[in-house]
Amino acid sequence: MADYEQLDTPSVVLRADLQRLFDSLHARGYETIAPRVENGAIIYDEVTSVDALPAGWTDEQEGGFYRLEGRDDGALFGYTVGPQSWKRYLSPPIRRLWQARKNGDGFEIVHEDAPTPHYALIGVRACELHAIHHLDDVYLGGSTIDADYQQRREAAFIVAVNCGKAGNTCFCASLGTGPAVGPGYDLALTELVTEREHAFVVTVGSERGADVLADVPHRPAAPGEFDLAEAIVAEAARHMGRTLETTGLKELLYRSFEHPHWDEVAERCLTCGNCTMVCPTCFCFTVEDTTDLTGQSAERWRRADSCFTTAFTFITSGSQRASAKARYRQWLTHKLATWQDQFGSLGCVGCGRCITWCPVGIDLTAEVAALRAEEIGQPQPEAVLEMA
Amino acid sequence: MLATAIHERQPAVARTFATNGCVPYRCRVTERHQENDDTFTVELEPAGARSHAAFAAGQFNMLYVFGLGEIPISISGDPARPDRLVHTTRAVGTVTRAMATLRRGDMIGVRGPFGSSWPLDDLKGKDIVLVGGGIGLAPLRPALYQLVAQRGDYGRVVLLYGARTPEDMLFRAELERWRSRFDLEIFVTVDRATGDWHGNVGLVTALIPRAPFEPQNAVALICGPEVMMRYAVQALHKRGVGPQQTYLSLERNMKCGTAMCGHCQYGPHFVCRDGPVFRMDQVQRFFGKWEV
């Protein structure tokens, strides 16, 4: 049963008792997905033991640069975000939608009937929680919804983590998306590593969060502990490596369609699509229809797609965005401007992944600053009507 | 709590992508005929117990050929006859070339109808100027059916249609029948005259300056290649038919039809959901620019 008082009163769970959180989630049928180290990066994968978390690791990030480094305090969440985001668990990058089989005089369609995975997402940062809400807008906000996403999303248990460190490519503070986690979590942790203790200040965001916390040894947070937790996050907010000025951003980008700076970016952009793969809000997909060798059985697959390919916009008359310039412009303009008209928010959450994982270090905050520095005049809206 | 929060964001009647939105229903080809060298029309009836959903003039379906793929094709039939689902398309890609070989009784998959439509109900009393180029006549034909059926509700009804050659003209028998009526103005032009063609030669946009309509009371519905639509918009504007009186149907790559896959984005618009029919002032900021 829920202990409603806990909804308001932060608790403290000791590092030594954190395993009980994983155990409780397991006992409730969740697959626990959490950060761990693989191939020199922090990824999100099934983690059943607290000991498998990246204890004593931190990350160094810059444009086109990511390295793990040790830290000597044994912190479990002492890094920012890696190349993956939670979208791979809520909207898998490859998914079969249905199958079709030939029969006597046509074909029949076989619906997918896979059970919904129940994930506990452990270590969701503030920016990432915002990104999940953005995916909700895309897949659940319209008159047609993605039922698979809805089932995964409703089943997911979210353990958010407040950032105690800001990365060099982070800019959530200037977007208001972090580093303190906002609503939408079941439990939120702030890691405290002091000389006296290694513990987590825990706030409860839902009834089921309270139920899970009830299984984990905890005590009410002392005022000093809660203050320290808040101070740590406030300190992270002051050390953002990047800023993005959001005032008038939408209109700036709408005005900048013909800006010469896009040509300059295009000289560097490899159109590799890394930014779209690492972006926690990039939602585009394609569908592929396949048959087996006999031609009797067909399948439709949905795959994550990127607006950086020429095929993305291909119609009979050819690719509608053949140039690299047009494709980068579309991506950036979508994130920062057209997304606002589509969903009422920025499509960027300030996680900095696109900067870190761009092989040539293209930095959207710098590109926006460049557009701002040399504003071009607004073209006349009637231009198209008068050109003969 | 979270689940409730998500649930509350749903509209009262939500179709689900997995059960309805992304899975086609099966149809059989009941009729197929060739319109010209590369363009053909198919008529489809549902293979199972379900019936076709009602559609509005200007909407499209996603058509699936077994194992090969799925493509957006506008509906070219009569909206008053939703039981007869009619599509007209050119054989230009993998899927449409396979579709061109379909025979009566063959099966294809259908999802839809999707998208916005020509807002004919809001245009009563207006002069309606339909401007079509090539295959662009196909999504205009449902509007013509409706205008003819409700002829008394509208002012002048003018069709300006351009084809490459006389042999490329779509729906020729129908156009000739409509042209014989005293209450329809049908003008046809070809890029290149062949055979015994004695009609107009030139771009369809050249018909606009002398077409019989009252600009202040006219509304234009345009569909054709984007460059043709651009010049049509300009010619109409020159005659006093402004952006708020001009509708056009855009074509973009589409994979889902439900504003999720992202492919059809045109500025802030998802062409599959907010379009394909737009009023010119909605897209004026981008229309005519390259690589939007």
A106: which chain B residues are within 8 Å (Cβ-Cβ)? 26, 28, 47, 106-107
- On whether the CB atoms of residues A22 and A213 are closer than 8 A, the answer is no
CA-to-CA distance for B6 and A296, rounded, in angstroms? 40
- On whether the CB atoms of residues A177 and A162 are closer than 8 A, the answer is no
Residues in chain B, total: 292
- Kindly indicate whether the ipTM for this predicted assembly is greater than 0.90, answering yes or no: yes
DSSP, collapsed to helix, strand or coil, labels residue B129 as strand
Nearest Cα of chain A lies from the Cα of B152 at a distance, in angstroms, of 32
Closest residue by Cα to residue B229 from B171, B179, B169, B160: B160
Nearest Cα of chain B lies from the Cα of A290 at a distance, in angstroms, of 5
Q: B26 — contact with chain A (CB < 8 Å)?
A: yes
CB contact under 8 A, A291 and B67: yes
On whether the B120-249 domain is CATH 1.10.3720.10, my answer is: no
Q: What is the dihedral of CA A136, A142, A146, A147, to 10 degrees?
A: 90
CB contact under 8 A, B107 and A107: yes
Q: Which residues contact A32 (CB under 8 A, 6 or more apart)?
A: A22, A25, A26, A46, A47, A48, A119, A120, A122
B288: which chain A residues are within 8 Å (Cβ-Cβ)? 383-384, 387
Mean pLDDT split into 10-residue runs, chain A, 388 residues: 55 98 98 98 98 98 98 96 98 96 94 94 98 98 93 98 97 97 97 95 97 97 93 96 96 95 97 98 97 96 98 95 98 98 97 98 97 74 50
pLDDT-above-70 percentage for chain B? 93
Q: Does residue B11 surpass a pLDDT of 70?
A: no
CB contact under 8 A, B259 and A142: yes
DSSP state of B96: H
Bridge-partner residues for B42, per DSSP? B32, B87
Pick from B20, B24, B291: CB nearest A321 = B291
The reported pLDDT for the residue numbered A233 is 96
The half-sphere exposure of B4 on its side-chain side, counting CA atoms within 13 A, is 4
CATH code for the part of the protein at B11-114 = 2.40.30.10
Q: Chain B 206-225, CB below 8 Å of chain A: which residues?
A: 225
**B76-104 mean pLDDT:** 96
- Measured CA to CA in angstroms, residue A190 lies from A49, A65, A133, B25, B254 at distances of 19, 27, 21, 50, 44
| Optimal mutation site among A315, A341, A346, interface B, most CBs of chain B within 10 A | A315
Residue B71's pLDDT band (cuts 50, 70, 90): very high
CB contact under 8 A, A144 and B64: no
CA-to-CA distance for B215 and B128, rounded, in angstroms? 10
- Measured CA to CA in angstroms, residue A20 lies from A14, A26, A213, B111 at distances of 10, 10, 9, 48
Nearest Cα of chain A lies from the Cα of B283 at a distance, in angstroms, of 10
Q: Which helix (DSSP H) or strand (DSSP E) does residue B41 occupy? A: strand B39-46
Pick from A112, A286, A338: CB nearest B267 = A338
Q: Which residue has the tokens 């149809």?
A: B27
Structure-token pair, residue A263: 């040509």
Angle at B33 between CA B28 and CA B35, to 5 degrees: 135
Pick from A285, A307, A381: CB nearest B285 = A381
CB contact under 8 A, A106 and B106: yes
A291: which chain B residues are within 8 Å (Cβ-Cβ)? 66-67
Pick from A106, A140, A158: CB nearest B9 = A140
Pick from A142, A286, A334: CB nearest B261 = A286
What is the chain A residue with the closest CA to B257? A144
**B45-60 mean pLDDT:** 93
Nearest Cα of chain B lies from the Cα of A194 at a distance, in angstroms, of 33
Q: B1 — contact with chain A (CB < 8 Å)?
A: yes
Closest residue by Cα to residue B31 from B71, B75, B87: B87
- Measured CA to CA in angstroms, residue B142 lies from A52, B58, B60, B75, B82 at distances of 63, 7, 11, 7, 11
Pick from B105, B230, B255: CB nearest A287 = B255
The reported pLDDT for the residue numbered B50 is 86
Residue B2's pLDDT band (cuts 50, 70, 90): very low
Taking one residue from A and the other from B, the number of pairs with CB-CB distance under 8 angstroms is 186
CB contact under 8 A, A146 and B18: yes
CB contact under 8 A, A100 and B90: no
CB contact under 8 A, B253 and A315: yes
Q: B173 — contact with chain A (CB < 8 Å)?
A: no
Nearest Cα of chain B lies from the Cα of A114 at a distance, in angstroms, of 12
What is the chain B residue with the closest CA to A107? B107
CB contact under 8 A, B2 and A287: no
pLDDT tens-digit map of B170-199: 999 999 999 999 999 999 999 999 989 999
- On whether the CB atoms of residues A47 and A36 are closer than 8 A, the answer is yes
Tell me if B11-114 shares its fold with B120-249: no
The half-sphere exposure of A193 on its side-chain side, counting CA atoms within 13 A, is 12
Domain ranges of chain B: 11-114, 120-249
| Optimal mutation site among A139, A287, A294, A378, interface B, most CBs of chain B within 10 A | A287
Q: How far apart are the first and last CA of chain A?
A: 72
Structure-token pair, residue A347: 């499509």
The reported pLDDT for the residue numbered B19 is 42
DSSP, collapsed to helix, strand or coil, labels residue B19 as helix
CA-to-CA distance for A171 and A244, rounded, in angstroms? 7
In three-state form (DSSP H/G/I as H, E/B as E, the rest C), the secondary structure along A200-238 is: EEEEECCHHHHHHHHCCCCEECCHHHHHHHHHHHHHHHH
Nearest Cα of chain B lies from the Cα of A224 at a distance, in angstroms, of 30
